[in-house]
Every structure is written in structure tokens, then in C-alpha cells.
Amino acid sequence: GAGVSQSPSNKVTEKGKDVELRCDPISGHTALYWYRQSLGQGLEFLIYFQGNSAPDKSGLPSDRFSAERTGGSVSTLTIQRTQQEDSAVYLCASSSPGPSGNTIYFGEGSWLTVV
Amino acid sequence: GDSVTQMEGPVTLSEEAFLTINCTYTATGYPSLFWYVQYPGEGLQLLLKATKADDKGSNKGFEATYRKETTSFHLEKGSVQVSDSAVYFCALRTGSNTGKLIFGQGTTLQVKP
């Protein structure tokens, strides 16, 4: 597609349930990122995939959070046993190989509400 | 670790006023610097960038100059419009092709007619 595609755009779930958020990056982009934007907060880095390298998971807030990227393309962010503090917009982004000045493109996000 | 600090908002201006949003950074190595903008109800999009010292990024009347001596990348616009109302994020990216973006907290700009 033309841009980074995320689904669902909105998700309401009950506390304790598991959720999966999907990201389809721009075709040809080997780098994929997940960020979280909480109300009144900045953008928090979660995890980063680059090609076939081991992902950088340094931003995942707890072991309830995990992500995978199959076939070097689509990624799924999974949150197990959701808590109310997990409510946020989850943003996916992708970029092409190259120098650090290469632009990172963001999707419109998945808005998660845990009730 | 690497970090970005932005001036706190919200910033409220009248149309045609001059805008400055301050951004300073701390980084090892030589980062690339970015300003992203998030308009109401929309996703995050790149506004401008600069990849080395003294570079000036510009777009839609906005400018920012990469100042290594002051570790700053302040965003400026000479005459703001109501349509510029948005949240602005300063960010840096280190590394070659493996760097993640590190964002500031964001600054909300509201422009009144």
C-alpha cells in the first residue's frame, strides 16, 4: 500500500483480556517500529525490527507485551492480560534501509481502550 | 542515554504571529534531527529534518537549523495560520540504518484567528 496500515483503528477490551494489533509496513521497508502514545504523554518507543536481525525489545514495558514480524513484513503487537494503564494509541512505523536521516513513516495508530 | 527536551505547551498565538518552539537534545555520536507534526485526528507526519550540523530543514514555511554547539533544533515560522494548530514533536535518530527515533514530549500549538 501507499502508507503504513494499522488495524484495528479502535479497540475496546475488558481488563484481563489479550489483544493483538496489526501493522502492515510500506512495501520494501525493512525496518519496523512500534511506539505508544498515552494521553498527555509523549511517544514511547516499544520495539524495533530491522531485517533479519534480532529485534530491539528494550522499550517493552513488561513481559505482557510481545511482538513478532513474520516474513519480514507484517507485524503483530500482542498485549496479554490487559490493564487499564495499557490504554493508549499504539503507533507503527517503517523505514527503508539507509542512513539515520532516512524518514520514518508512521501509521495512523490503533486506539486501545481497556475498561 | 539519548534524549530530547522540548518547551512545554500549550503555546497559544494569534494568526500571523511569529512562532518558536525550542528543542534541545543529548546524544552520543552525530544524530539526525526531525520535527514531526500531528494535526487533530490525524497520524504523525514528518515536517522537516536535518542530518548534520548547520543544516537547515524547511517545509510549509517552517524552518529549523541543526546547531551542534548549542545542541538545539528550534522550530520557527514567521507567520502562523489557524491551520498550523497541532502537536509538534522534536526527535532524534542515531546510528547508521539501525536507529530508532527518540521523541520529545510534544508541544501543542493553538493558533487563534
Query: What integer pLDDT is reported at residue A109 of this predicted model?
Result: 95
Contact between B109 and B85 under an 8 Å Cβ cutoff? The reply is: yes
How deeply is A39 buried, as exposed, middle or buried, from its count of CB atoms within 10 A (0-12, 13-18, 19+)?
A: exposed
Which has more pLDDT, B14 or A50? Answer: B14
Residues from B contacting A (CB-CB < 8 Å) are 31-32, 36, 42-46, 49, 51, 89, 91, 93-106
Query: What integer pLDDT is reported at residue B96 of this predicted model?
Result: 55
Q: CA-to-CA distance for A104 and A84, rounded, in angstroms?
A: 29
**Is A41 an 8 Å CB contact of chain B?**
yes
Query: What integer pLDDT is reported at residue B1 of this predicted model?
Result: 83
Q: How far is CA B36 from CA A33, B71, B75, B89, B94, in A?
A: 16, 18, 11, 5, 16
Contact between B84 and B77 under an 8 Å Cβ cutoff? The reply is: yes
pLDDT per residue as tens digits for the range A4-46? 999 999 999 999 999 999 999 999 898 999 999 987 778 999 9
Q: Could you say which of A48, A99, A105 has the minimum Cβ distance to residue B96?
A: A99
Radius of gyration of chain A (CA): 14
pLDDT per residue as tens digits for the range A52-111? 888 999 999 999 999 999 887 999 999 999 999 999 999 999 998 777 668 899 999 999
| CB contacts, 8 Å: A107 with chain B | 43
| CB contacts, 8 Å: A106 with chain B | 36, 43-45
CA-nearest residue to B100 within chain A is A48
Q: Which residues of chain B have pLDDT under 50?
A: none
pLDDT per residue as tens digits for the range B88-112? 999 999 865 557 889 999 999 999 9
B31 contacts A99? CB cut-off 8 A = no
Say yes or no to pLDDT of A1 above 70: no
For the record, the C-alpha cell of B48 comes out as 522537516
Q: Could you say which of B51, B96, B100 has the minimum Cβ distance to residue A48?
A: B100
Query: What integer pLDDT is reported at residue B75 of this predicted model?
Result: 98
B45 contacts A100? CB cut-off 8 A = no
| CB contacts, 8 Å: A93 with chain B | 101
CA-nearest residue to A106 within chain B is B44
Q: Could you say which of B36, B94, B106 has the minimum Cβ distance to residue A100?
A: B94
Query: What integer pLDDT is reported at residue B8 of this predicted model?
Result: 84
